[in-house]
A and B are shown apart, each in its own frame.
Chain A
Amino acid sequence: MIINHPILGPRDAAEFVYKGDASLINRPDWQADDAAERFHEYGYLRDNSAGLHRELWFHEQGDRSWLVVTRDTTTHEITKVELARDVARAEGRSR
């Protein structure tokens, strides 16, 4: 596979390490009343979609960016590649 890195352009997938579902960005608030339940869901529950899937890849043999890759699990077509940091900020994460 080829991942079109937003900074470095098209790179072979072998340069990357796969982590998993991009929902891992949405780490729960540790002080929420139901924090235990939400951390359990965060840690263990994933959608297993046949189709578009947003997932985290780390450019370990490159610039060490974490990326959010949108990939069709049935065809491996990649429709979007973003810097995970931008995604995290857009989703309201900060410090």
Chain B
Amino acid sequence: MTGKNRLNGGMIDRSTSFGFTFDGVSYRGCAGDTLASALLANGVRLMGRSFKYHRPRGPMTAGSEEPNAIVELRSGARKEPNTRATTAELFDGLVANSQNRWPSLKWDAMAINDLFSPFLTAGFYYKTFMWPKAFWEKLYEPMIRRAAGLGTLSHDPDPDNYDKGYLHCDLLIIGAGPAGLAAALTAGEAGARVILADEDFVLGGRLIADTGTLADEDGATWAGKTVARLQAMPNVRVLSRSTVIGAFDHGIYGMVERVSDHLLEPAPGKPRQILWRVYSKRAILAAGATERPIVFENNDRPGIMLASAMRAYANRWAVSTGSAIAVFTNNDDGHRTAADLVSKGVKTTVIDTRPDAPETTDYETLSGATVTNTQGRLGLAAIEVTLSSGTTRSLTVDGLGVSGGWNPNVHLTCHQRGRPQWDENLAAFVPGGTLPSGLSVAGAASGAFSTHRALQTGQAAAVEALGDLGLKASNPDLPKAEDAPIRVTPFWHVTGAKRAWVDQQNDVTAKDIKLAHQENFRSVEHLKRYTTLGMATDQGKTSNIAGLAIMADVAGKQIPEVGTTIFRPPYTPVAMGVLAGRSRDKTFRPVRKTPSHYWAEEQGAVFVEVGMWMRAQWFPQPGETHWRQSVDREVLQTRKSVGVCDCTTLGKIDVQGTDAAEFLNKVYANGFAKLPVGKTRYGLMLREDGIVMDDGTAARLAEDHFVVTTTTANAVPVYRHMEFVRQCLFPDLDVQLISTTEAWAQYAVAGPNSRKLLQKIVDPEFDISNEGFPFMACGEITVCGGLRARLFRISFSGELAFEIAVPTRYGDALMRRLMEEGKEFDVVPYGLEALGVMRIEKGHAAGNELNGTTTANNLGMGRMVSKAKDSIGSKLSERPGLNEADALKLVGLKPVNPDDKVVAGAHLMTKGTPVDAAHDQGYITSACFSPNLGFHIGLGYLKSGDTRIGEIIRLVSPLTGVDHEVEVVSAHFVDPEGERLRA
């Protein structure tokens, strides 16, 4: 036995019994059950507490539209809050818990809110927690969030993997009910590449939830056979457990496939879920329809559910949802539920709002009657019916099915701003306006509610799509099915009902909607936000229309006049993990490693992320306990003898063509036309608005060949910009560009012994003496006996220095060779920190100074911007506002008291003025301890800084409590005359 409420039949596998727990109590269910069907089979119908009033709630539906049966699944790091028990597939070992209750689901202390309900109406928070204002953030909001909430997170890292994938098809069919299956069969047999996706784990839609026949077999059998036929077609991909969550531009759909949610944990190597991006030429929405409830007093007790859900539980899951059941309906479909229940032996009574309700001898029908109240503390025990005569009658029932008609699932048709249209005959919104391009709608989603019409419209939509695709349809024969007419008389809510729930998940009552109208929140968008109608995780799938109908009623309007809010993706809630995919933790983004990365690792380097690159920050030696010890040593040893630094990460762009120099004249503010072959020049690159974009060097290897460097951070944007200039602004220049950043490993060799070290590896036919290879020389050479290399005599450190580049695959070997050959000079590898210290000591600008607000003038390089030629940014850099007399200028700063620090980000103030923005004089961009000078130094921008050398000013950082005096000095702290460079 798998529960006291099990009936015969159904699509569950009684031979596979699963054990599971809910709130710590053990139960058993079957393969094929959902958590909700298994709990109902065991007689458990109290599954949650409502959001605001903590009212007892049970499942209202049997599908993804569920507002009430919201639970936490699993435990530990895999705990997932706010999942719907009605879609959670049962597996052996499932652990589920109710949420938003304390201490237990049956005895919830916060249920006291229900007694205060007259005060807790719409807008209560807005009106009540206004004063004192400061209390909101610290007291009111945390308090409200604790009381009104959903589930809780484990706060542990998610142990599962999520994938992303891409699918291409001719035709995407969304939903595998009768319409979707007919469409897939038609398109599949015509040879189209078809994807058929359905959110359920068994395909068939209402065919597996309802009784009724197709030709001479029952609907579920036909669905099973059809799915098997489709799965056998190589051109058809059938995806169950796959929800199409959004319709995006140009036939692209988002789809979440729940690969492993029905397992205790994913199989080894398998993801938990996959986010598919589906590229379709055509698509058919066959998402079916959702039954809607009727609003009446106390309509939210466990045991009250949609009539079609009762039918699904009985037919598909073989679960009786009550021993004596009433069905409250305004349409013929409610009678189908009654007929199915009666055939299963359940005592049933129908309350039909229509005076002319169909009569039958199978069950009692109360025509022209309404349900006006219900009783039962933790579940339904009895209902009060007001008969057409006006008298009331009490019915002792533990189940009440409600059927207010059906709403087509139009959601995806609205994702490109299509607006649904009101269909008077169906009393429902059907797809309307402009649909996403390539999408058509079939079956109940289009308002074709009968099985016969679902099959026909599904096939017709496929034939139309095949025509667009240039394929010939074979029109396979479809089985004969029921074609009952739609007979519904709109009935939305029982007049006078107050504690009558419209949106059960967000606890919005009919009274709240009337209040919103009374307080003039009458536009449908205002109504939604004031009352929170339709804003919960179910996005109002069962509540929106009833809410609109009540609003229309109190406003004296028709429903189409009230309008609808718009549906946006996702169709159902999506786990954040699947949106992230593999982009998390260490795989958040790709890691780029330089060729000598593993060598640096062997040296115990401490790495830092620079964009995607991993760069060695410093190389700690035994005995060094603080990073400053390592950095100071690397700086001092480089300036004393020789150091080597990996600068592979700098961007490198190869520029070739007869107009290469002319092109560089355009992209750099300074001139390149006259640069001789074999020479390198510093280049300053401006944006068109005159702000500095980047800087680097351009080495002329031949008349028509330059190698340009960019900063590490700007390698990609600079390349993009140069291609823009080349293709869009000067399309006839003979010049070609290619990024060679990853083709060359490059190392800075700096210090007075750098030449001696390089002479040991550069092949002897190349003269790199000061005469043969002077400052700013460049050339193509060979090293280590014939390996091709490039040598540049450029210096960022201010020392005699070179940069040497070899093909990437030799980078590791070159680094090891330099270390080996350098032993006699006590060569030191230095990292990014030492590089930074040396460039600050030398007064070289870097990213901190080129911060997107500074001009050449600010950098003291105003005269580099050539007036004799056209270059990007030169014209707008002349703007008066960028060239005021008191413009910021780059200066050096050193503390008056040598023990004081210079702090990056601190501001500069003239002595004796107030510390405020109006008196601000500038700010520090870079700061460090200079081991050569023995005190802290900084670079910064100071108003008219170039004329204030020697002035003592205040360095202030109110946030960190810094306030002391610094002296304005030249930015060139070390070797201001550049003698070392040229040695």
Contacts and interface: CB of A to CB of B under 8 A. Distances in A.
A23 to B, nearest CB: 11
B723 A64 contact: yes
A56 interface: yes
A86 to B, nearest CB: 8
Nearest to A32: B875
Contact of B732 (A30, A75, A94): A94
B659 A95 contact: yes
A52 to B, nearest CB: 16
B689 A43 contact: yes
Given A2-B250, A66-B723, A24 B728 contact: yes
A87 to B, nearest CB: 8
Contacts of A64: 723
B731 A30 contact: no
Tell me which of A27, A40, A42, A76 has the highest count of chain B C-beta atoms within 10 A of its own C-beta.
A27
Given A36-B878, A89-B732, A95-B733, A58 B724 contact: yes
A84 interface: yes
A15 interface: no
B620 to A, nearest CB: 38
A30 to B, nearest CB: 4
Contacts of A75: 416, 434
Contacts of B92: none
B435 to A, nearest CB: 12
A56 B728 contact: yes
A66 to B, nearest CB: 5
Nearest to B869: A30
B612 to A, nearest CB: 15
Contacts of A12: 279
B820 interface: no
B704 to A, nearest CB: 16
A95 B730 contact: yes
Interface in A30-55: 30-31, 35-36, 39-40, 42-43
Given A2-B279, A35-B875, A95-B733, A66 B249 contact: no
A94 B724 contact: no
B728 A1 contact: no
A10 B522 CA distance: 46
A2 B252 contact: yes
B983 interface: no
Interface string B240-275: 000000001111100000000000000000000000
A88 B727 CA distance: 8
A36 B250 contact: no
Given A56-B728, A85-B727, A94-B730, A76 B250 contact: yes
B384 interface: no
B437 interface: yes
B710 to A, nearest CB: 15
B729 interface: yes
Interface string A17-33: 10100001101101100
Contact of B724 (A19, A28, A40, A77): A19
B858 interface: no
A25 B728 CA distance: 6
Nearest to B662: A95
B249 A39 contact: no
A39 B723 contact: no
B727 A66 contact: yes
Nearest to A77: B437
B875 A39 contact: yes
B731 A93 contact: yes
A93 B730 contact: yes
A43 B730 CA distance: 17
A95 B732 contact: yes
Interface string B311-323: 0000000000000
B876 interface: yes
Contacts of B731: 85, 88-89, 93-94
B728 A88 contact: yes
Given A85-B731, A93-B730, A94-B732, A60 B720 contact: yes
Contacts of B250: 1-2, 76, 78
Contacts of B720: 17, 58, 60
A43 B882 CA distance: 15
Contacts of A36: 875-876, 878-879
A35 B339 CA distance: 84
B826 to A, nearest CB: 45
Contacts of A30: 870, 874-875
Interface string B731-747: 11100000000000000
B920 interface: no
A60 B437 CA distance: 27
A77 B874 CA distance: 38
B660 to A, nearest CB: 13
Contact of B876 (A19, A40, A83, A85): A40
Contacts of B340: none
A84 B727 contact: yes
Contacts of A17: 720
A19 B659 CA distance: 26
B728 A66 contact: yes
Interface string B4-15: 000000000000
A25 B730 CA distance: 9
B688 interface: yes
Nearest to B437: A77
Contacts of B729: 25, 27, 88, 93
B592 to A, nearest CB: 16
A74 to B, nearest CB: 9
A84 B689 contact: no
A84 B730 CA distance: 11
A77 B438 CA distance: 12
A42 to B, nearest CB: 8
B654 to A, nearest CB: 13
Contacts of B727: 65-66, 83-85, 88
Tell me which of B248, B252, B416, B731 has the highest count of chain A C-beta atoms within 10 A of its own C-beta.
B731
Contacts of B434: 75
A89 B689 CA distance: 24
Interface string B670-712: 0000000000000000001100000000000000000000000
Contacts of B724: 19, 56, 58, 66
Contacts of A25: 728-729
A78 B252 CA distance: 14
Contacts of A39: 688, 875-876
Interface in B432-480: 434, 437
Nearest to B732: A94
B723 A76 contact: no
8 contacts: A1-B250, A25-B729, A36-B878, A58-B724, A66-B728, A75-B434, A85-B731, A95-B730
Interface of A: 1-2, 12, 17, 19, 24-25, 27-28, 30-31, 35-36, 39-40, 42-43, 56, 58, 60, 64-66, 75-78, 83-85, 87-89, 93-95
Given A1-B248, A39-B688, A66-B724, 16 more contacts: A1-B249, A2-B249, A19-B724, A27-B729, A28-B875, A35-B875, A43-B876, A56-B724, A75-B434, A78-B250, A83-B727, A84-B727, A85-B731, A89-B731, A94-B731, A95-B732
3 residue pairs, one from A and one from B, having the closest CB atoms: A30-B870, A2-B250, A94-B732
